[in-house]
């Protein structure tokens, strides 16, 4: 039976307090394919009450039992892996192969990483006559985005449970179905009632209510910087902890000693992965000034080799972006790039040839971009790459750091010591050298307006804990 029009509260699928429905749009067709219930303050009250009641006992559950629960969640997740991948593909337009190999995989990988970190995690430390104890912070409101739904759900829920917290999850109302499947996974794993709760809804009607709720001890939010500011202000009245993973405008510095052709081509693919809808995408490519036109030629070839099409079609590299709002925003920013005088290398406004419906974007590369142009300043969140020039390494570092964001940076060099030295100068929470494999044990989070706190593995467990010093322990 479909649970699309129900919430999961206190171990049961329940109807909303006020029956209201919202269409879920398939971005490949622009048509609604199901409806979800959307919540209100009354639903949040019920979920928080359930989580608060469960916390009293779950916070005392031995580590071994919480570890066993996480392993059951992983097993149940693997049982539903294909369902999760197909849900993500339809709700946000990810090519089916990408939905399996990256989107659904990420959720599994984060649960596995949390288990690995949790197995050796210590919750107490003796310092002189003081015992330092790490305790669960309490009821946690988890607000997750549409662009990497399972990645963000898993890397919040799993460490919160490891820490001994109870949670209320609000997935994005734009891509909510994978979150409902995840709730079914939690139920199948035998999660004690009240430990995990799900309420769907909009940011103003549910997310903000959660952030300001006096029964919530912590908010973990992933989304835009604009929305993150609203969450933080709302949470401030109750002085609760707020962990945020927000926007980015990440620089990709191609150093003169890089394998230039490969570095530029891979940079295009890295920028356009997930149809450009990643907060840490390397959207500003910095190349030596004397090789700028060469870089544009390589980038053009790499971008035009990517296939944009239906998510279910064989060989599709880029699907549609998630919504009409995103489509319109990206079109506006592409137009701004042209108006600002950037060189349109490939792509541009409108849909790709042969696609007359769906929120499809032409993979776009701009050249001769300066760091004061709109396309170099604003987070576009679509398949749009800006190529900038630098005259010296110092200038490259200066340009890379000249942004309100600080989520990620990328360095390409055939000399690893050189790449490491430049990495230390980046004002970003994550720096990636020579396009490494995804590491779910690494800390993830940002400097500046890209947020605060860190996610993944033991770094995430830290964020869900309070520190107690018992002085005179002996």
Q: Which residues are catalytic?
A: 245, 279
Q: H or E element: which one contains 60?
A: none
Cα(467)–Cα(340) distance, rounded to whole angstroms? 51
Cβ-contact 198, 57 below 8 angstroms = no
The count of C-alpha atoms lying within 13 angstroms of the C-alpha of 219, restricted to the half-sphere facing its C-beta, is 34
Cα(419)–Cα(260) distance, rounded to whole angstroms? 14
Query: Which burial class, exposed, middle or buried, applies to 357 when counting CB atoms under 10 A from its CB (0-12, 13-18, 19+)?
Result: exposed
Provide the residue count of the chain.
Answer: 474
- Report residue 421 CA to chain centroid gap: 28
Q: H or E element: which one contains 131?
A: strand 130-136
Query: Which burial class, exposed, middle or buried, applies to 261 when counting CB atoms under 10 A from its CB (0-12, 13-18, 19+)?
Result: middle
Cα(451)–Cα(370) distance, rounded to whole angstroms? 25
Cα(197)–Cα(43) distance, rounded to whole angstroms? 10
Please, which residues have CB within 8 angstroms of residue 315's CB and are 6 or more apart in sequence?
A: 307, 309
User: Which token pair is 319?
Assistant: 């699907």
Q: What share of the chain is helix, strand, coil (3-state, %, to 5)?
A: 40, 20, 35
Query: Which burial class, exposed, middle or buried, applies to 314 when counting CB atoms under 10 A from its CB (0-12, 13-18, 19+)?
Result: exposed
CA nearest neighbour of 48 among 168, 217, 179, 164: 168
Cα(362)–Cα(382) distance, rounded to whole angstroms? 10
Q: H or E element: which one contains 473?
A: none
CA nearest neighbour of 23 among 88, 103, 91: 91
In this structure, what DSSP letter does residue 346 have? Answer: E
How does DSSP assign 212-247, residue by residue?
H-TT--EEEEES-HHHHHHHHHHHHTTT-EEEEE--
């Amino acid at each position: 039976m479909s649970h699309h029009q129900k919430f999961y509260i206190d171990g049961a699928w329940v109807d909303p307090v006020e029956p209201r429905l919202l269409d879920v749009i398939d971005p490949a067709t622009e048509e609604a394919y199901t409806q979800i219930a959307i919540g209100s303050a009354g639903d949040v009250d019920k979920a928080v009450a359930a989580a608060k009641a469960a916390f009293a006992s779950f916070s005392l559950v031995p580590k071994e039992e919480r570890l066993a629960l996480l392993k059951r969640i992983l097993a149940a997740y693997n049982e539903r892996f294909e369902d999760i991948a197909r849900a993500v593909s339809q709700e946000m337009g990810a090519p089916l192969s990408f939905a399996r190999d990256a989107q659904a995989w990420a959720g599994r990988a984060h649960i596995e990483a949390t288990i690995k970190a949790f197995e050796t995690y210590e919750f107490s430390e003796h310092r002189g006559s003081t015992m330092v104890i790490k305790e669960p912070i309490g009821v946690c409101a988890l607000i997750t985005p549409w662009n990497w739904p399972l990645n963000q759900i898993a890397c919040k829920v799993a460490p919160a449970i490891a820490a001994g917290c109870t949670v209320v999850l609000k997935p994005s109302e734009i891509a909510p179905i994978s979150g409902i499947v995840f709730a079914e996974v939690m139920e199948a794993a035998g999660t004690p009632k009240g430990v995990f709760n799900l309420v769907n809804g909009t940011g103003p009607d549910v997310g903000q209510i959660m952030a300001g709720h006096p029964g919530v001890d912590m908010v973990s939010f992933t989304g835009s910087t604009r929305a993150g500011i609203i969450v933080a202000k709302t949470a401030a009245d109750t002085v609760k902890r707020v962990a945020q993973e927000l926007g980015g405008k990440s620089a990709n510095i191609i150093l003169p000693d890089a394998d230039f052709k490969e570095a530029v081509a891979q940079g295009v693919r890295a920028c356009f992965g997930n149809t450009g809808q990643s907060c840490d995408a390397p959207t500003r490519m910095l190349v030596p000034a004397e090789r700028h036109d060469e870089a544009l030629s390589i980038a053009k070839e790499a971008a035009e080799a990517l296939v944009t099409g239906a998510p279910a079609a064989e060989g599709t590299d880029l699907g549609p972006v998630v919504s009409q709002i995103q489509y319109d925003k990206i079109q506006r920013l592409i137009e701004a790039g042209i108006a600002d005088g950037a060189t349109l290398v490939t792509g541009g406004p409108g849909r790709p040839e042969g696609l007359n419906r769906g929120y499809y974007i032409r993979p776009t590369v701009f050249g001769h971009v300066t760091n004061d142009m709109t396309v170099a300043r604003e987070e576009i969140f679509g398949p749009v790459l800006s190529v900038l020039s630098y005259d010296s390494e110092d200038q490259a570092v200066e340009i890379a750091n000249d942004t309100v964001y600080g989520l990620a940076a990328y360095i390409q060099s055939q000399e690893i010591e050189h790449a490491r030295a430049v990495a230390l100068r980046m004002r970003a929470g994550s720096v990636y050298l020579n396009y490494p494999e995804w590491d779910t044990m690494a800390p993830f989070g940002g400097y500046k307006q890209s947020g605060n706190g860190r996610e993944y593995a033991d770094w995430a467990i830290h964020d869900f804990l309070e520190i107690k010093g018992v002085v005179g322990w002996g």
